[in-house]
Structure formats: structure tokens, C-alpha cells
Structure 1
Amino acid sequence: MPLRLTPLEILLARLNILPLPLLDAPLAQGISKALVTACELGIFDTLDKQALPLKALAEKLECHPQGLQLLLNLLISAGYLRYRAGLYSNTRIARRWLTSGSAANVAPYVIHSPDIVAIWDHLPEVIRTNQQAMRMPYEEDVSSPEAYRLLARHYAGLAALAMALGGEVVYRVPLPPGASRLLDVGGSHAAYSVLFCRKYAELQATILDIQPGIEAGQRTAAQVQMQERLSFVCGDIVRDDFHKQFPESFDLALYFHIAHLLPAELNQQILHKVALSLKPGGVLAFVDQITDRTYGLRLSSLMVQLMHLTMTTVGGTCYQFSTVRSWLEQAGMEQVRSHRLLTPGAVLITARKKG
């Protein structure tokens, strides 16, 4: 994807004549590596300015023309580039999803993807033992340059993904009347807070996270020139009684993509503190992969199951809707609802504080 089979290839696949496993390995990995390389080189951003012949593109990218042509030809076959009248140009998919001028740019997440692939190197061990095999990047010592770069790629990728796909979540979350204070729990890159503040001019957001996450969020705030509406509080959401830190309660709290990182008892404890941070009638919005909310969609099911396996590798897991609902209800929340999203595998859950 966006690789498209010809009618003949589709027929051969349906007749089980085409060796489809070879599309997953090694073809998919080869296309993935080519795409990462293209993003790192800046091919799509360069062609976003204008279509170029091979020689001019190679000069701009400081690449050997023949070596670059091998990559360009692969990207054409994969559906990311076109070649017409001696000029290379982006396809509409590349323009929307892989150029920095697009609001839906996910190129930073593509560049981060090899770090995710590295997690899967531990799959045989995890499958044999069902035990955690490694730690998440923010659990590592970031004093080394390589660890710092890994964490920076991690946060930049997550921020890009949130900015590209988070608009639907913002649209679906019901804000209480007169809402003005948002708490983004573990919000690190602050992209979701940015999207909410863009939609609601009266909203001020507080992002609570550990120091590396705060630094990533501050970079986001500077990039979108929203420093005056985003504030940052350094803290440990697991260990700290953060609900006692704030002089005023919040109208809305976000708990996005945190649950899969933590065991059930810690999620329950954190969500209790989140609920205590809300005003009566305040809204808690929860986003994650929910194992029994794939709605019969193959892509959603694939994304959730792959996330479940990946999170087990790093000590996390994915949960059912009934589990999340019980956490929220025990924390004093009511009107717990799940909302189907277009983003494959992701589910929005909203709840309102009693009172």
C-alpha cells in the first residue's frame, strides 16, 4: 500500500497462484526501507517544490544519479512517485502524507518506523516466554547521543501522527459548556493539545509529562507558535499525586495512548487521579487500541493485534472496552461511551465526571 495489483495479479492472488507471503516478506520490508530512505533524503519535500529531471534532483540531494535512479524507480512502482516527460514528481499520496508542507505529513513517523521494527526483533523470545524483552525509549538513559536521538525520533514521530490524524478525535470529543482548562496527561509532544486549542479559542492546555516529553512538547509549541496557550508541568503520572498540584480543576482531560504502556492496576490508579483533577461534569477523553472494538475491519484488527504483540514486547498490553469502562466508573466517571474512528485500530472513549 499504496502498491496496487493489476487485474491479472488480483486474479492470480484469488486463485492462490501468486505467492502472497512474498508480498509481506521480503517485498514489504524492502518498500519500507526505500520509503524511510526517501524521507531521510528529503526526496518528497524536494519534489513538492517542483518536478525535476534526474540530474537536477541528484544535485539537490547530493546523490549519485544512477544510485538515486534505482530508488526512484522503486518508488514509482510502489505508487509514491511519477515519471513523465523526463520529470519526477510526487503522487497525490506522497503530497498529502509525506511532505512537510502538508498538515497530514507523517514522514517523521516513517523515519521513526525502523525503531519500531527493531522491537519486533524480539518477537521469537516474547512468543516463547510471554515476557517483556526490552524497554521503551523514554525508560532508557538518554545521556548517550544515540539514545537521545532515538527518543527525539520517537516523540517527533508521535507528534506527526497526532497532528495528521488527531483532528477527528477533537471533533468527536464533547466539551462542557464554557470549557477553558485542558489537562493532557502524559501528553509529551503536545500535538493533541495544539489541535484542541486551535479548535477552541478559549482553551488553555497544561501538558503533564516527564522531562524528555516536556522538551518535545515545547518544541511543538514553538513550531506552531502556541507557547502562550500551552503550559508544561514536569511530573511522573504514575508516582506523583498530580491532582494536588493544580490550584484549579480542569474541564477536560486527555489520556491518549498511555493505557497500552501500563499494567491494569496502574492505569486504574492514574485514571482515578485524572478524575480528581476534573470539575464536576468535566469530560475525560481516552484514546487507545481496544481489542474488542475493531468493528469487523481487517485493517483495524491487524493494527490492534500487531500493537498488542508489540506492547507485550516492551512490557505493556492492550485492553478490552469493558476493562477501560470499569476503570472509569470506579474513578467516579459516568456516561462512558466508545466512539469508532477512521484511524485503523484506534478507539475514542469518553466519560463525564459525576456531579
Structure 2
Amino acid sequence: MNEQVTPVPLMELTSGVYAFKALALATDLELFTDLADGRTVTAAGFAEKHGLQLRPAELLLTACTALGLLRLEAGGMYRNTPMSEEFLVKGKAYYFGGWITVVDRHEYPAYLKLADSLRGNHPTTWDPKRQESLFAPDDPVMTEHFWEGMHALSAYTARLLAGALDFSKIGRLLDVGGGGAAFDIELCRRWPHLKATVFDLSFVCDLTRPRVAAAALEERIAFAVGDFFTDPLPAGHDAVLLSNILHDWGEDDVQKIIVACADALPTGGLVLICESFVADDKQGPPLAALMSLNMLVETWGKNYTAAEYSGWLRAAGLEPEGVTPFDGLGANGVLVARKH
């Protein structure tokens, strides 16, 4: 046996399920929200609040502490760490709990059937025989959890995009499949001259309008109802944003969407593809590769490489100008292409 090789990394991979379920349960119990603004709790106090015995209460709190989600102080007092305070407290701008709920209730059960997806080459988070797509308006999981979860992913990533690219010469942005408007809200806040249009299905636009109103951006963020496979995209925009849209679809559909975006743009207009790009050699990075595997249980798509996108962009009359990397949630950069 090679003494320099150990199975410890395998144990770390295996224990990922323990860590995630601890995070998901603590989030569901609103532990971190209860500890907002410097509040503390003891194991006994946590047990009493939730009707638990002391042993399981202490085990969950210890796990959260070991994972960097809580800090244990003198007197057995637990409090939020800065990360939990910023991203796991309900009501905070970049609350991540929505995505945790989606993974726990929507995706985790599907992974029990991952082998079915592998052998059948089909999703398992929804039934393709009964639904037209993942984005069915009558799917209760989608309406109750998915859009909230996507907003959790998008808001923080949008903030990074707003700082990574120069939007000073983009006056009007078309956000294709932009349900939730997280990108439009963040970009409009960062760039006061910018106006945006969310193009999405009717029920998604209806779910999104209250968010835009709450951000007091109704005069700068408009809505256009449509289906990007059947309806022409609205003209009159300087740039089109495709954020975490293309990975949901197979190669033929991706190319159709890119062509539709190109057709809607004037000469010199930009397409912005914000995604978690798999490396061109398809050896990583790990999160992009795992998110790509996640598309096996979710959709008919996968996470594509920048090289693959570049070929499709050129075929549609767009010239790629490279990828600007950043460390976002569900996205690791933005590929910019300009219409000839």
C-alpha cells in the first residue's frame, strides 16, 4: 500500500451529506435568524425552544460550530459567526437560506435516484412524462421554494458582476429568463443610469413584480412577457444578459437562444453569459463540474465550457471577447460577446 495515499479525502467527501443536512436542519429551524443581532442561546435554551431533548440539541449545535456556522463562547453560549449573520439571517439582502431549502427539499430527494438519471438520461426532480419542463407554473415546489432559492444565488453573484464589468456604455439591458430580477436590481443600484427589462414567462413576471416594487425600481426595471423559444425577444437594448439560463438546456436549444439574442441586438450590441464554466479541458473546477452533474437530475442541459459557448456565439454572428472571472454563487465568470 502506498503510505503517501490515504482515504481521508474520501471520508471528507462522504461526510458532505452530514454537513449539508446539519446546515439544512438548522436553517429550517431558523436557528441563525433567532441568533441575529448578537443574540445567544445555550444548548438547553435551544432544546427548550424546539421541544428537544438536550442530547440531540447539543449535537446539532456542536456540528454547526465545527462547520464555522456558530461560535461557542464562555458559559456555553452560542452565537452566529460573521458568515451566518450575513448570509443565513432571514431578511438580510443576501440571505442564502432560500437556496439551502431548494437543495434540501427539491434536489436532495432526486439524488436518491441519481442512478435512474444516469441510466435513463433524464431528470428526476420532476417527471418529464407529466411536465413540459422544470419551470412548470403549477409545480408547488417551484412556486414555493425555487424562485426564492434562485434569488439567493443571483443577488450576491449580481453584485460581483456589477463590479466586474463596466456597464457605463450600456443604457438598456435585456435580462432573458431574468425571473426574480436579482441581477437587474443589483445592476441598477450599482449603475444609476442603467435601465433593464426582464423577459420571462407570465407567472414568473407576476412573482417578480413585488421584488422590483420593494426595491423602488419600477421606473427603471420593466417587464416583457414571453417564451424565448417561441417569441421574438424585445428590441431596443444595448446588451442581453443570460445568467444561469443556458445550462438548463441541451446544445441545440442553447444555440437557438443565442441566435434569438443576436437577432434582438443592434450592431455592436453585447451578449453577457454569466455561468459556472467548466474548464475547456473538462477537468474542473470541482464546483462547476458538480453543478453540471446536478443538471442531470434537474434538466436536459449541463455546464458548458467557454470554448463551446464561443463556437456557438461565432456561428450566431457574435465575437467573443473573453471571460471575466469572479467567485460567485452558481457562476464563476461572465463571457462577453459583441455583435458584428
TM more than 0.5: yes
Of 2, 5, 12, which aligns to 1:23? 12
Work out whether 1:333 is the aligned partner of 2:324: no
TM-aligned CA deviation for residue 47 of structure 1: 0.8
Question: What residue is the counterpart of 2:31 in the other structure?
Answer: 43
Conserved? CA contact 1:176–1:281, under 8 Å: no
TM-aligned CA deviation for residue 237 of structure 1: 0.7
Summarize the Cα distance change of 1:176–1:216 in structure 2 as closer, same or farther, 3 Å threshold: same
- Provide structure 2 residue ranges, at least 5 long, that are not aligned to the other structure: none
Summarize the Cα distance change of 1:196–1:294 in structure 2 as closer, same or farther, 3 Å threshold: farther
C-alpha distance in 2 between matches for 1:63 and 1:215: 39
CA shift digits 1:37-86 (9 cap, x unpaired): 11122111111123323355556x54436253332222122221122233
C-alpha distance in 2 between matches for 1:17 and 1:259: 39
Report percent identity of matched pairs: 23
Task: Give the length in aligned residue pairs.
Answer: 327
Work out whether 1:139 is the aligned partner of 2:134: yes
Work out whether 1:250 is the aligned partner of 2:208: no
Three-state SS of the structure 2 residue aligned to 1:202 is coil
C-alpha distance in 2 between matches for 1:347 and 1:221: 25
Question: What residue is the counterpart of 2:305 in the other structure?
Answer: 320
The amino acid that maps onto 1:28 is G
CA shift digits 1:133-168 (9 cap, x unpaired): 33669636543xxx3244331111111111123222
Of 45, 62, 86, which aligns to 1:73? 62
Work out whether 1:93 is the aligned partner of 2:83: yes
Conserved? CA contact 2:319–2:337, under 8 Å: yes
Q: How does 1:183-332 map to 2 (within 5 A)?
A: 183-243=174-234, 246=235, 249-293=236-280, 301-313=285-297, 314-332=299-317
Summarize the Cα distance change of 1:17–1:264 in structure 2 as closer, same or farther, 3 Å threshold: closer
Question: What residue is the counterpart of 1:107 in the other structure?
Answer: 97
The amino acid that maps onto 1:78 is L
Conserved? CA contact 2:156–2:328, under 8 Å: no
Conserved? CA contact 1:132–1:312, under 8 Å: yes
Three-state SS of the structure 2 residue aligned to 1:281 is coil
C-alpha distance in 2 between matches for 1:268 and 1:306: 23
C-alpha distance in 2 between matches for 1:17 and 1:350: 42
CA shift digits 1:204-254 (9 cap, x unpaired): 2110111332233224223423233222222111111234xx5xx101210
Under a length normalisation based on structure 2, what TM-score does the superposition of the two structures give?
Answer: 0.85
Question: What residue is the counterpart of 1:180 in the other structure?
Answer: 171
Of 161, 167, 170, which aligns to 2:153? 161
Under a length normalisation based on structure 1, what TM-score does the superposition of the two structures give?
Answer: 0.82
Conserved? CA contact 1:185–1:207, under 8 Å: yes
Question: What residue is the counterpart of 1:6 in the other structure?
Answer: none
Conserved? CA contact 2:320–2:335, under 8 Å: no
TM-aligned CA deviation for residue 336 of structure 1: 2.7
Question: What residue is the counterpart of 1:124 in the other structure?
Answer: 115
Work out whether 1:346 is the aligned partner of 2:332: yes
Three-state SS of the structure 1 residue aligned to 2:267 is strand
C-alpha distance in 1 between matches for 2:312 and 2:168: 22
TM-aligned CA deviation for residue 176 of structure 1: 5.8
CA shift digits 1:103-131 (9 cap, x unpaired): 433121112111222332232123334x1
Of 154, 171, 179, which aligns to 2:163? 171
The amino acid that maps onto 2:100 is V
Summarize the Cα distance change of 1:78–1:139 in structure 2 as closer, same or farther, 3 Å threshold: closer
Of 3, 27, 32, which aligns to 2:20? 32
Question: What residue is the counterpart of 1:83 in the other structure?
Answer: 72
- Provide structure 1 residue ranges, at least 5 long, that are not aligned to the other structure: 1-13
RMSD: 2.7
C-alpha distance in 1 between matches for 2:182 and 2:255: 24
C-alpha distance in 1 between matches for 2:335 and 2:95: 26
